[in-house]
Amino acid sequence: MPTFDVVSEVDLHEVTNALDQANREVSTRFDFKGTDSRFEIDDSVITMISQSDFQLNQMHEMLLSKLSKRGINIGSVETGKAELIGQQARQKVTLRQGIDRDLARKIIKHIKDAKHKVQTAVQGEQIRVSAKKRDDLQVVIADLRQAELGVPLQFNNFRD
């Protein structure tokens, strides 16, 4: 029985590469000279550190451009609120990964409402979709790509 998995993942290696490029750009830009501005990453949380809120906005735009050039969907980026602590401003940017229960229900409901001849099962942070025919699965993939679900989805582990 043909199957595939619906997942929402971010390639953390590419994120690290994008952050290295952004840190290099911050260190060479004239408007950031002497400010000790930088990007730091811990698991899937990026922290932007600078001196002012305006510089954080500049760094945020720079980060988004570097991530998109590296092929990371900006829909998986969730920006927190800027915090001003003394002479330092910090802002956290979270990379959303995995499919939570609410989103899984929404995806399954979308598939069921479209009346596709497939079976779905939630397995941790992914959804397994199976059908009798490979063509049915391809229709579901096309339908989910068209759907506005709020997060970027990837389809992997396709088996015949």
Domain residue ranges in the chain: 3-8+98-159, 12-95
Write down the pLDDT at residue 40: 93
Query: Does an H or E element contain 47, and which?
Result: strand 45-50
Give the SS3 label for residue 157: strand
pLDDT, tens digit (0-9, with 9 covering 90-100), for 49-70? 999 899 999 999 999 999 999 9
At the fourth CATH level, the homologous superfamily of domain 12-95 is YajQ-like, domain 2 (3.30.70.990)
Write down the pLDDT at residue 91: 94
pLDDT, tens digit (0-9, with 9 covering 90-100), for 102-156? 889 999 999 898 888 899 999 888 999 999 988 888 999 999 988 888 888 888 8
Query: How far lies 51's CA from each of 27, 31, 62, 65, in Å?
Result: 14, 12, 16, 21
Are domains 3-8+98-159 and 12-95 of this chain identical in fold?
Answer: yes
